[in-house]
């Protein structure tokens, strides 16, 4: 299907009438059902380290935050969490961290290999901007997916939020474009309501989702930590400033579904933080098909404070699992089985296979 054109995207981003927005919700839900079905796949999130060498101006994990207690999980702590994911029926674990130099090429590769060999679930990595050598080694160790949000396609906004790391200038887009050729399913996404972000910026973001042909798309509201430059600043609000609201997040989820119909799209913890009663459920009813229950051990979970007052931070993994699966069934959806690979990835592989067949010289049989 063709993605919505720019004029339509801008129309929906600006729309505030609830009755008219029902049309967008219905379209997104129908496309979700047609392309990825009624299964909701669960990804077990393990926040393996809150160390970070970056000085991002909104994130509580930034290196300059001296009020945070730092931790880094050992392999012996990570493996039981992955096994718990398997017990719960999750097909994937997501290893997430700040940009932590203590998570070395060899250490992450060993962790991935042990999870694949001993647990047998898919592994998604979300470890920030890393070198091609690291990414290749982790893929060879068995990592299936890599998640790296580009956060905004507006390069000025991005540089305002992200000072260069140690004098080095990594191109996040360059890293993203190298993941696919390495064999990863590629995930990215944006934050909604960044100070200075316009509706045109968000329209550009949605166009970039389609251009990158993403397998996973994560979107969430911009929530700052108070112990950061953005958290302390009194920001001015331009006339076309995108609000960091629950409603705007649903609109971007719905439009992302229309732009990339067979991508996996999560209904995030940030949505539950804004609306604990039904935030995740509404995300699932407006285009999303993934939920990421938290498996981080309780002694570390509250320390992974990207922003304060995250939803469910005091829940045990067992309680989180029972709550989320009950909520999913409560809206008439099924819990997904297996690894839940992106239908988009399967489509690309089929296309490549057909292209190879078409390119064979005529008259030759199968080898």
* Tens-digit pLDDT profile for residues 240-274: 899 999 999 999 999 999 999 999 999 998 898 88
Per domain, the residue ranges of the chain are 6-359
Of the given ranges (10-19, 88-97, 163-172, 210-219), which has the lowest mean pLDDT?
163-172
- Whole-angstrom distance, CA of residue 196 vs CA of residue 112: 39
Task: Give the model confidence (pLDDT) of 122-154 as tens digits.
Answer: 999 999 999 999 999 999 999 999 999 999 999
What pLDDT is recorded for position 95? 98
Closest CA to 45 of 360, 290, 365, 309: 290
Q: What is the pTM of this model?
A: 0.92
Fold (topology level) of 6-359: TIM Barrel (3.20.20)
- Whole-angstrom distance, CA of residue 186 vs CA of residue 171: 16
Task: Give the model confidence (pLDDT) of 22-39 as tens digits.
Answer: 999 999 999 999 999 999
């Amino acid at each position: 299907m063709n993605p919505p054109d720019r004029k339509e995207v801008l129309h929906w981003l600006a729309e505030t009438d609830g009755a008219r927005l029902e049309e967008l919700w219905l379209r997104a839900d129908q496309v979700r059902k047609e392309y990825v079905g009624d299964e909701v796949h669960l990804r077990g999130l393990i926040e393996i380290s809150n160390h970070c060498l970056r000085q991002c101006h909104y994130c509580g994990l930034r290196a300059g935050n001296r009020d945070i207690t730092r931790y880094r999980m050992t392999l012996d702590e990570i493996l039981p969490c992955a096994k718990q994911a398997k017990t719960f029926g999750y097909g994937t674990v997501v290893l997430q961290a700040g940009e932590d130099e203590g998570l070395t090429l060899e250490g992450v590769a060993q962790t991935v290999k042990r999870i694949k060999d001993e647990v047998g679930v898919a592994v998604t990595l979300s470890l920030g901007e890393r070198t091609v050598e690291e990414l290749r080694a982790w893929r060879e160790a068995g990592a299936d997916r890599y998640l790296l949000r580009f956060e905004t396609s507006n390069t000025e906004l991005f540089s305002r939020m992200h000072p260069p790391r140690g004098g080095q200038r990594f191109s996040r887009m360059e890293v993203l474009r190298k993941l696919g050729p390495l064999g990863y399913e590629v995930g990215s996404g944006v934050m909604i309501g960044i100070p200075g972000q316009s509706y045109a910026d968000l329209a550009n973001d949605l166009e970039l989702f389609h251009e990158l042909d993403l397998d996973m798309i994560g979107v969430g509201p911009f929530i700052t930590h108070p112990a950061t430059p953005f958290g302390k600043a009194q920001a001015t609000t331009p006339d076309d400033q995108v609000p960091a609201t629950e409603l705007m997040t649903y609109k971007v989820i719905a439009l992302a579904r229309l732009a990339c119909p067979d991508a996996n799209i999560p209904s995030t913890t940030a949505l539950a933080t804004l609306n604990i009663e039904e935030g995740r459920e509404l995300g699932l009813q407006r285009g999303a098909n993934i939920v990421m229950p938290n498996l981080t051990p309780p002694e570390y979970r509250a320390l992974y404070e990207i922003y304060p007052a995250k939803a469910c931070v005091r829940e045990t993994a067992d309680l989180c699992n029972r709550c989320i699966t009950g909520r999913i069934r409560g809206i008439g959806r099924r819990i997904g089985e297996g690894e839940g690979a992106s239908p988009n990835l399967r489509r690309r592989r089929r296309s490549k296979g057909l292209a190879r067949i078409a390119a064979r010289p005529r008259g030759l049989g199968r080898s």
